[in-house]
Amino acid sequence: MEKLTITSTFNVYQSADELPGDVKDLMQQAVEVRKTSYAPYSHFHVGAAALLDNGRVVLGSNQENAAYPSGLCAERVAVFQAGAVYPDAKIIKIAISAAAEDKVVDSPIPPCGSCRQAIAEYESKQETPVEIYFMGETGKVYHSPSLQNLLPLVFESKYL
């Protein structure tokens, strides 16, 4: 038997104010689009802003549905929209912000497993990493240099 050790490394910013200018703007767009989420069941609102290599920013917010799991997370809304509207563009970075109606979310909220897998597919398709910045409503911002860093043993098409 052998042991496999996997390590992930993140940059941690104490607040969105510390982010580089372009990322700060991207995060602000994620915060704004978070306000358009439809979350009558979870009362948990998420916004995502994806910067593409063509300079466009594609936005997404979570959209819930009474026929669970028919809803969609903010990250997948943004990523799938980017793929549909700009099929030849690469996703450079994604900013994510989350807030709850009943409490202040002051810790970074990473993408869920389904969103990680969806982002992984685009990272594989475009053969370049997707930087991910994520935060709650306030507080620290975590930066992952790639989705692979968040999901090191990713399931890819090469396994099919």
- The verdict on whether 75 is a catalytic residue reads yes
End-to-end distance of the chain based on CA atoms, in angstroms?
26
Contact between 118 and 83 under an 8 Å Cβ cutoff? The reply is no
CA–CA dist 71, 88 (Å, integer): 26
From residue 2, give the alpha-carbon distance in Å to each of 5, 33, 59, 149, 153.
Answer: 10, 46, 44, 22, 17
Q: What's the angle, vertex CA 37, arms to CA 136 and CA 46, rounded to 5?
A: 20
Percent helix, strand and coil across the chain, each to the nearest 5: 30, 25, 45
The edge-to-edge listing of strands for the beta sheet with 57-61 is 11-13, 141-144, 131-135, 91-100, 44-52, 57-61
List 2, 32, 64, 75, catalytic entry: 75
Residue positions annotated with a catalytic role: 75
